[in-house]
Amino acid sequence: MPDTTAEKPAEAEPKPTEPADDLVTTHHTITAKRRKLAYTAQTGRVVLRKEGATDGKSDGNQPKAEVFLTAYTLDDADPGTRPVTFAFNGGPGSSSIWLHMGLLGPRRAVSGDVNDPAPPPYRVVDNPETLLAHSDLVFIDPVSTGYSRPTNGEQAKDYHGFAPDIESVGEVIRLWTSRNERWLSPKFVAGESYGTLRAAGLAAHLQERHGLYLNGILLISAVLDMGTIRFTEGNDTPYSLFVPTYAAIAHYHGMHGDRPLDDVLADAEDFAARDLPWALQRGARLSTAERTEAVATLASLTGLSESYVDRVNLRIEHMRFYTELLRDKGLVTGRMDGRFTTWEPDGGREHMSDDPSISRIIGAYAAGFNHYVRAELGYANDLPYEILSIDVNKAWSYSDFEGRAVSVVDSLGEAMRANPHLKVHVAFGHYDGATPYFASEHVLAHLSIPEELRENIDSAYYPAGHMMYVHEPSRIQQSKDIAKFITTSSNR
């Protein structure tokens, strides 16, 4: 009997869903200095696209990545005069959670400080000092941080490098500026840590690629030349530039008696600028008397023993310092913030097993943001919010700088020369053991700009660490300093 079963036509494979922006809009109010601010928040991912071509023919704009951002705009403000600040942190591999929930945003996570860490489950509170009172805000999470990811079929590593990172973050800034009709608004970028290197590079990139000129750059815990903070063979520069920070941390932990911090720093800066570089470059040509004097001075400033300073040949590497300083008490100090300490289970370690200035506060930020983004901003995403990716940090490519130090000093100088109205604000923490203030001062002093443009740079110093806003008095003062900078640099 013949088979009469009808043969069904093959079903076409469903086409994958084209990625699309998934921004969520909510409305809020906050009181800042007795002034009620009504504002709109937009939260979600925007699709980054790139023009493709095959055999010389356009393939159209292909989706490459979905980048998470949170934008706050003041209601009923004139976009022609209202400043906007684009903010991000560093890492590389860090989300923007720190500046967002610690300093600039309208809501902040309560982490506590050195002697009073906040207990879980933590809190989110209003931030009356928010920069939103003076500028609209756009917080950007680079690809592989926060909720930002490459689209299906694309590789994350294509964004894990100096140049592609600047291009992608720059594209987010261009898109947001264009879609929100803000080309005539005063514009600022604010970066922290590696984000300062990104910010300086962006200033030049945005000018050259899009003709987008900034009013100002905020550099918080700055590093503009990696050669000043990386302890590599043959590079003696960091061994000198870290000394004032070592002295500050030693002072905080009681190793300079009742001497004022300013006096200690003045001595440390003089030694780090003159005598120590000379002693290091002399090498074996240093006489016994000269070496003995250098060892004694360096030990006195840093709080370390003369025998230790002598054994390391006058070259104190930073992770060794944070592990060694309080070894006799069984403690290590923080790298991000030398005020913090924790017990070290292995008293013989050369490098500490935990940085208390991160582990003591990250829980508050993680809980705060993960609650806030869903419960208050209305954005739901089941991806983990990547706060700080060590894998991204380790895999980061600096291929653009092969054979030389990673530096944006030339880019910043170029941006300032091309745009003589560009203002730069630099924020330093005296106890910041990741990006020491004296290293940044050294770099800024070597910027290739005419003397009159040096007036465009202003600096602020705080008795705190890398995230100086963890220290409540510093947070309040820093908020005032940034607000003043934005207001006076808007050219309106």
Query: What digits encode the pLDDT tens for the residues 101-130?
Result: 999 999 999 999 998 999 999 999 999 999
Question: Which candidate, 40, 45, 157, places its Cα nearest to that of 395?
Answer: 157
Q: Which runs of consecutive H residues, i.e. helices, occur in 274-397?
A: 276-282, 288-302, 306-311, 318-324, 356-359, 362-375, 390-395
Give the span between the Cα atoms of 189 and 88, in whole angstroms: 8
pTM beyond 0.85: the answer is: yes
Counting residues of the chain whose pLDDT is more than 70, the rounded percentage is 95
Q: What is the pLDDT of residues 162-219, one digit of tens each?
A: 999 999 999 999 999 999 999 999 999 999 999 999 999 999 999 999 999 999 999 9
pLDDT in tens, 349-369: 889 999 999 999 999 999 999
Q: Which two tokens stand for residue 427?
A: 């924020």
Q: Angle CA(300)–CA(253)–CA(362) in degrees, nearest 5?
A: 130
Q: pLDDT tens digits, residue range 299-315? A: 999 999 999 999 999 99
pLDDT grade, residue 492 (50/70/90)? low
In 89-156, the DSSP E strands lie at 107-110, 112-113, 116-117, 123-126, 136-140, 149-150
Looking at residue 18, its pLDDT comes to 86
Q: pLDDT tens digits, residue range 381-394?
A: 999 999 999 999 99
Q: What is the pLDDT of residues 409-448, one digit of tens each?
A: 999 999 999 999 999 999 999 999 999 999 999 999 999 9
Q: Does 69 score more than 70 pLDDT?
A: yes
| Domains of the chain and CATH, by start | 24-28+38-48+62-227+361-489 (3.40.50.1820), 232-354 (no CATH)
Which pLDDT value is given to residue 51?
A: 76
Q: Are the C-beta atoms of 91 and 388 separated by less than 8 Å?
A: yes
Q: Is the pLDDT of residue 339 over 50?
A: yes
Residue 382, classed as helix, strand or coil, is coil
The pLDDT of residue 305 is 98
> Residue 151: its pLDDT value, please?
94
Q: Which band of pLDDT confidence, cut at 50, 70 and 90, is reported for residue 462? A: very high
* Tokens 């023993």, located at residue: 305
pLDDT of 4 > 50? The answer is no
For residue 288, pLDDT beyond 80: yes
Average pLDDT of span 394-414: 93
* Residue 186 to residue 65: CA distance in whole angstroms: 28
What are the CB-based long-range contacts (under 8 Å, 24+) for 265-273? Answer: 265/430, 267/301, 268/243, 268/244, 268/301, 269/244, 269/438, 271/243, 271/297, 271/298, 271/301, 272/240, 272/241, 272/243, 272/244, 272/438, 273/240
Q: Which residues pair with 87 in a beta bridge?
A: 139, 190
pLDDT tens column, 15-46: 667 899 999 999 999 998 889 999 999 999 99
